[in-house]
């Protein structure tokens, strides 16, 4: 090594001044009055610059007065530098603006300019924010965050096993890597003794020992050089304890670095206990501060002795402190200084016993003889009813316009006649109180009540409550059909400009329904529902929403009245008739539903839905002949309607009238020959077991409707049921060529090949199906299942990955992936990810419910099952899963309720449900039987 010192250790050059090149000659601190150190003199600086210029062979610079011009010129330039405008203070204006004044006009002008600027800014604000938002989104999409870039890698970390995690090497300290490498080179290494190798060899063995109780145990052992045995089980347990300690330390250091002293030392188990103790200490501190608060409140009362809240506050403070005597003294002082304050007197009454409280109440009333609250409090202090009445009589003399005092006086009267007299006097004193008028009317006989209400209407013509009470009185008297009180009410209130809104009338109608005044409820809706609505308004939708709102609140009579009014206005609207029928079906009687449907088919004779509902209701009631009559009337009004034809066929088939059903189907094929009629005809013959006749019909139907995919499916299924797989394959193949968009047809073709054991061909069929019908979740799911059933799990996972990229919003795909391709520990995180991507999918909800079911979290599972049913009650698989869950963990009442709702809903769809319900062997089974068969096939 050379003896030359490093740069910082070398001496500075001659005449070196730090920072001289940038004009720095020292620095000034806040505590110094001058430079921190004395800099070089101008002569020294000039000499140093001249010397440097001589060495460089250039002219000496002119800085710091070293100018080639005379001394006079240098001073002039220095003065110019001092007066440079760049260093002018903007707050200290000079020249033209040195003596300017800022007056009101300048202020107004600034405000105008500011308003204009704000206006222009608002005009462009929306566009500017939209443009900035779009630019930000583009920038984020082009420059994603590191967290987003590594999201897929982080997701793949979920599949790393515990063993892989344990085998990840720890990051070492690389700061002294080179130094340690040099040290390792100088180290000496020695050969390992044979005893160490022998011990390592024997450490993998096991010793079998017999304990005292005869139990045999295997302990891993290693024999040391001295013959002792090493118990590796104890070592493993110790290692686990050390690992636990490290994990605890890591948890404590999660909010800071242990080494730096910023680690959290909160005990999670004792945290709540310590928190409770801290709250108790805080309460003790508050109690300890009573003296300070007392001083503050005393200052308040001394500063403003007429401030009643201050006296109340200090009295309550003394009460909390346990000094009840001091509290009474303070509040008594407050009553002397604030005699007109009701609150102070009431607080004084509260703080004293009954005897003293009466005296205080008397003094309070002397100072506030028109205070209703003080009179009521004085009445409550009396224990005798006679004394209470005397107090209230005195109160009425002083405050005759108080409704509260009159009500208390009436409530004290036990005799109805005395109460009636008091109310009559009260209505004379306070004629504008609707409450008193209504109370008097309730105590009178019906004839006198009518007179009272007439007088009340004259006194308060703008009150709707009086009119509603009059209508209810007519209902009680049984004369509601003779006198239309609500019609007169609407006319009177409208004349006085006091007509409430339609929504307020609906609320009043619901109140009447709660009190069993059904006729009044109907009258209110009949006379007020159309108020404020013109023909241009969307009245039908508004009234439908009103009815739905009443149904949701359990007010079915109000909803029934709303539907009745809407049907009078829109008599030919099928949607209103159907909604009203649903209300009667769910919350009415069978007779009322029949009457409504009869009126509906008369008003809308072309509505096949109403005819079908009427026929169905008659059918379910067991009135087969009436059902036939209804369908006959429907035929007359809707000739050649396939729904009515098929309903008649189903009726005859369910009643075992086979020949009549065949005759109806034959007639329907001639007169209403649609593809659906041909499909039902084939299905019916297939149910009866006449497969040859069914094949004949399906061939005839395909000649007329070659694009009917269900006919091709029926043909293939018939051949498949008799074991003719080649003919079934040809039927499916011809069908997918004729109907390439039919997903069920592709699925049947694939399953036929898989059933025949040709998995390769099944894959090929599904590949062609996905090309013909792209982005279809059912086809992707079937492809995954084919691989899974073939025990090709890796290929199934690869296909599932592609499927989720192709159809990311499919609950069916996510459910298949979660339940069959994910390990048990990863199902819940994947389900959470699926719920974020899929919105309101019942199949996914069932999968989540099954996960909670497996974890024995039964309440959560039940909640998710019910969410699935609410999302789509037409899926039979959802009902089956829920019923299976309730069979294990539900009550009898809950199972019966779910079964009843399922039967009422009559689900038609579902992957397993349809295979069961469409099976010819289950053609005549009920919904309950199909539910139980589906339940047995769930996996």
Lowest mean pLDDT among 182-196, 291-305, 587-601, 778-792: 182-196
Check if 285-411 and 639-705 are the same fold: yes
| Residue 106: predicted pLDDT | 80
Query: Where residue 815 falls among pLDDT bands split at 50, 70, 90?
Result: very high
If you compute the radius of gyration of the chain from its CA atoms, what whole number of angstroms results? 48
Q: Report which of residues 342 and 90 the model is more confident about.
A: 342
Assign 898 a pLDDT band (cuts: 50, 70, 90): very high
According to the CATH classification, is domain 840-939 in 1.25.40? yes
The confidence band for 764, taking pLDDT boundaries of 50, 70 and 90, is: very high
The predicted-structure confidence for 32-68, as pLDDT tens digits, reads as follows 444 445 566 777 788 877 877 777 777 666 544 444 4
Is residue 327 within 8 Å of residue 316, measured between CB atoms? yes
pLDDT top residue among 12 and 701: 701
Confidence bin at 272 (pLDDT 50/70/90): very low
pLDDT at 481 over 80: no
Which range among 163-172, 509-518, 561-570 shows the weakest confidence by mean pLDDT?
163-172
The answer to whether residue 75 scores a pLDDT higher than 50 is no
Q: Choose which CATH entry (3.40.50, 2.40.30, 3.40.30, 1.25.40) describes domain 639-705.
A: 1.25.40
Residue 782 reports pLDDT greater than 90 = yes
Rounded to an integer, the average pLDDT of 90-99 is 48
Q: What contacts 699, CB < 8 A, 6 or more positions away?
A: 715
CB 446 within 8 A of CB 426: no
277 has a pLDDT exceeding 70? no
- Using 50, 70 and 90 to split pLDDT, how confident is the model at 538? confident
- CB burial string 650-665: b at 16+ within 10 A, e below: bbbbeeeeeeebbebb
Q: What angle do CA 254, 260, 265 make, to 5 degrees?
A: 45
629 within 8 A of 619, measured Cβ to Cβ: no
Q: What is the pLDDT of residue 773?
A: 93
Here the tokens at position 121 are 């800014």
Predicted confidence (pLDDT) per residue in 720-750, tens digit? 888 888 999 999 999 999 999 999 999 999 9
In 515-607, where does DSSP find H-type helix?
A: 518-528, 539-552, 556-569, 574-587, 590-603
Span 809-814, average pLDDT: 92
Q: Among 227-231, 470-474, 747-751, whose mean pLDDT is lowest?
A: 227-231
Q: What is the rounded average pLDDT of the residues 776-799?
A: 92
Q: Is residue 801's pLDDT more than 60?
A: yes
- Residue 462: what pLDDT? 86
- SS3 string, 918-931, reads CCHHHCCCCHHHHH
Q: How far is CA 733 from CA 723, 758, 768, 776, in A?
A: 17, 15, 11, 20
Q: Which CATH superfamily, name and number, covers 285-411?
A: Tetratricopeptide repeat domain (1.25.40.10)
- 300 DSSP β-pair partners: none
pLDDT at 275 > cutoff 70: no
Q: What is residue 912's predicted lDDT score, i.e. its pLDDT?
A: 92
Q: What percent of the chain clears pLDDT 70, i.e. is strictly above it?
A: 79
Whether the predicted pLDDT of 443 surpasses 50 = yes
| pLDDT confidence tier of residue 244, bands split at 50, 70 and 90 | low
Q: Where are the domains of the chain?
A: 13-25+38-73, 285-411, 421-621, 639-705, 840-939
The lowest-confidence range among 209-223, 226-240, 541-555, 882-896 is 209-223
Q: Which DSSP letter does residue 909 get?
A: B
Q: What pLDDT is stored for residue 236 in this prediction?
A: 57
d(CA 503, CA 509): 10
Q: Is the pTM of this model over 0.75?
A: no
pLDDT at position 101: 58
875 is written with which tokens? 């899926």
User: Which architecture, in CATH terms, is 421-621?
Assistant: Alpha Horseshoe (1.25)
What pLDDT band is residue 471 in, cutting at 50, 70 and 90?
confident
Q: Note the Cα 501 to chain centre separation in Å.
A: 32
């Amino acid at each position: 090594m050379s003896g030359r010192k490093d740069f910082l250790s070398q001496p500075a050059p001659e005449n070196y001044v730090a920072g001289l090149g940038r004009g720095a000659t020292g620095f000034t601190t806040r505590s110094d009055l001058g430079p921190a150190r004395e800099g070089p003199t101008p002569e020294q600086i000039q000499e140093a610059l001249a010397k440097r210029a001589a060495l460089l062979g250039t002219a000496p610079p002119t800085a710091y007065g070293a100018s080639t011009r005379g001394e006079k010129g240098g001073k002039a330039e220095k003065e110019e530098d001092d007066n440079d405008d760049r260093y002018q203070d903007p707050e200290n204006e000079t020249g033209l603006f040195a003596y300017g004044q800022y007056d009101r006009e300048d202020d107004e002008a600034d405000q105008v300019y500011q308003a204009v600027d704000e206006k222009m800014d608002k005009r462009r604000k929306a566009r500017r924010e939209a443009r900035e938002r779009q630019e930000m989104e583009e920038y984020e999409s082009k420059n994603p965050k590191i967290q987003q870039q590594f999201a897929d890698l982080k997701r793949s970390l979920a599949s790393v096993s515990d063993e892989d995690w344990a085998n990840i090497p720890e990051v070492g300290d690389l700061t002294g890597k080179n130094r340690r490498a040099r040290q390792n080179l100088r180290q000496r290494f020695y050969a390992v003794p044979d005893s160490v190798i022998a011990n390592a060899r024997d450490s993998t063995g096991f010793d079998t020992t017999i304990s005292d109780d005869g139990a045999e145990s295997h302990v891993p052992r290693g024999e040391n050089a001295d013959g002792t045995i090493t118990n590796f089980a104890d070592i493993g347990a110790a290692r686990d304890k050390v690992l636990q300690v490290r994990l605890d330390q890591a948890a404590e250091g999660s909010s800071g670095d242990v080494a730096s002293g910023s680690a959290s030392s909160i005990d999670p188990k004792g945290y709540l206990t310590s928190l409770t103790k801290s709250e108790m200490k805080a309460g003790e501190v508050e109690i300890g501060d009573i003296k300070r608060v007392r001083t503050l409140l005393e200052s308040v009362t001394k500063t403003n002795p007429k401030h009643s809240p201050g006296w109340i506050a200090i009295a309550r403070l003394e009460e909390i402190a346990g000094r009840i005597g001091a509290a009474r003294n303070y509040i008594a002082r407050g009553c002397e200084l604030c005699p007109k304050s009701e609150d102070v007197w009431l607080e004084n009454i509260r703080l004293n016993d009954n005897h003293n409280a009466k005296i205080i109440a008397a003094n309070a009333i002397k100072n506030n003889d028109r205070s209703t609250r003080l009179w009521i409090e004085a009445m409550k202090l009396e224990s005798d009813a006679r004394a209470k009445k005397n107090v209230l009589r005195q109160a009425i003399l002083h405050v005759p316009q108080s409704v509260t005092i009159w009500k208390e006086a009436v409530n004290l009267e036990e005799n109805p006649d005395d109460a009636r007299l008091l109310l009559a006097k009260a209505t004379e004193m306070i004629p504008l109180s609707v409450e008193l008028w209504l109370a008097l009317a309730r105590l009178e006989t019906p004839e006198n009540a009518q007179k009272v209400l007439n007088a009340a209407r004259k006194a308060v013509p703008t009150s709707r409550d009086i009119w509603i009470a009059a209508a209810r009185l007519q209902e009680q008297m049984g004369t509601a059909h003779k006198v239309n009180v609500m019609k007169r009410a609407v006319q009177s209130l409208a004349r006085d400009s006091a007509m409430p809104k339609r929504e307020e009338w609906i609320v009043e109608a619901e109140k009447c329904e709660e009190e069993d005044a059904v006729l009044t409820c109907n009258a209110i809706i009949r006379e007020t529902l159309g108020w404020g609505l013109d023909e241009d308004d969307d009245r039908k939708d508004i009234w439908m929403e009103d009815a739905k709102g009443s149904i949701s609140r359990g007010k079915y009579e109000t909803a029934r009245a709303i539907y009745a009014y809407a049907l009078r206005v829109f008599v030919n609207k099928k949607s209103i008739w159907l909604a009203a029928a649903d209300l009667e079906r769910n919350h009415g009687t069978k007779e009322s539903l029949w009457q409504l449907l009869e009126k509906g088919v008369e008003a809308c004779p072309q509505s096949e839905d109403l005819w079908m509902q009427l026929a169905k209701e008659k059918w379910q009631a067991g009135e087969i002949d009436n059902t036939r009559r209804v369908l006959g009337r429907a035929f007359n009004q809707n000739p050649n309607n396939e729904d009515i034809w098929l309903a008649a066929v189903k009726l005859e088939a369910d009643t075992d009238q086979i020949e009549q059903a065949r005759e109806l189907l034959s007639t329907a094929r001639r007169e209403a020959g649609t593809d659906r009629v041909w499909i039902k005809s084939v299905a019916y013959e297939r149910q009866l077991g006449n497969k040859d006749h069914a094949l004949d019909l399906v061939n005839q139907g395909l000649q007329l409707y070659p694009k009917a995919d269900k006919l091709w499916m029926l043909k293939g299924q018939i051949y498949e049921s008799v074991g003719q797989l080649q003919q079934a394959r040809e039927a499916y193949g011809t069908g997918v060529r004729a109907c390439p968009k039919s997903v069920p047809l592709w699925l049947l073709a694939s399953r036929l090949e898989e059933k025949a054991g040709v998995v390769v061909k099944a894959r090929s069929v599904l590949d062609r199906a996905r090309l013909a019908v792209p982005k279809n979740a059912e086809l992707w799911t079937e492809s995954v299942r084919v691989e899974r059933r073939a025990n090709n799990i890796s290929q199934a996972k690869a296909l599932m990955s592609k499927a989720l990229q192709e159809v990311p919003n499919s609950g069916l795909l996510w459910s298949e992936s979660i339940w069959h391709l994910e390990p048990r520990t990863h199902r819940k995180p994947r389900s959470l990810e699926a719920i974020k991507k899929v919105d309101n999918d019942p199949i996914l909800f069932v999968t989540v419910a099954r996960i909670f079911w497996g974890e024995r979290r039964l309440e959560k599972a039940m909640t998710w099952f019910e969410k699935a049913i609410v999302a789509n009650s037409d899926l039979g698989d959802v009902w089956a899963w829920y019923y299976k869950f309730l069979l294990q963990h539900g009550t009898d009442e809950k199972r019966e309720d779910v079964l009843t709702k399922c039967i009422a809903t009559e689900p038609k769809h579902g992957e397993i449900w349809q295979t069961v319900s469409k099976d010819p062997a289950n053609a005549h089974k009920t919904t309950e039987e199909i539910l139980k068969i589906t339940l047995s096939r769930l996996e």
